Amino acid sequence: MKRLLVFGLLAAFHATVHAKIYVAVPETDWTTVVPYVRANILAELNGDRFEVYVCPAHTDRSVVDPFDEVLSDFARVLITETMRHDAKVVEAIDGATRRFRERLPKLTADERRDYRLLYWQSLTWSTDVLSRLATRFEKAKAQNRLRCWVCEQDPSYAPAGEHH
């Protein structure tokens, strides 16, 4: 089973030790964060190749208008930290991706145009993804910070509002 791009990043830097980096939790609620979660779990379809990314270079800014960079950065860190600690989230994303790839050859032209929405719908059919992200969000909100392990390994991943 193919892993998401972020896990390649995590494995590549596993042995490196850095100071802990935390990001502040924006003063908002979970329902405001959800569209940014959608914007940061980005599906890409190129011909018959379907990939899913969670990284700064792959964010769908059209999902939220107006787009808030701080909320987007926080959502990306929330996703990667949850994936790092919660195998059920990884399994749910991998499963949705696998099912979508299987469905890909049967998609109509209209469905291919709306593939991101269709993928998001298939991803949210699993209660594991959003409910587990919401739980991690509430925990981070209570602590007013969220560790960014990926930021510790690759400083270019860190949002502008990071602190140690």
Q: What is the pTM of this model?
A: 0.82
Whether the bond between 159 and the residue before it is cis, its omega within 30 degrees of 0, is no
Element (DSSP H or E) covering residue 7: helix 5-12
Question: What ranges do the domains of the chain cover?
Answer: 5-163
User: For the residues of 50-103, what is the DSSP string, one character each?
Assistant: EEEE-BTTB--GGGSSS--HHHHHHHHHHHHHHHHH-HHHHHHHHHHHHHHHHH
pLDDT of amino acid 161: 52
pLDDT of residue 160: 67
Q: What is the pLDDT of residue 44?
A: 93
Each of the 164 residues of the chain gets a pLDDT tens digit; together they read 444 444 444 444 444 455 888 898 999 999 999 999 999 999 999 988 999 998 777 889 999 999 999 999 999 999 999 999 999 999 999 999 999 999 999 999 999 999 999 999 999 887 889 999 999 999 999 999 999 988 888 887 777 655 44
Q: Residue 144: what are its φ and ψ, rounded to 5°?
A: 55, 30
Write down the pLDDT at residue 2: 45
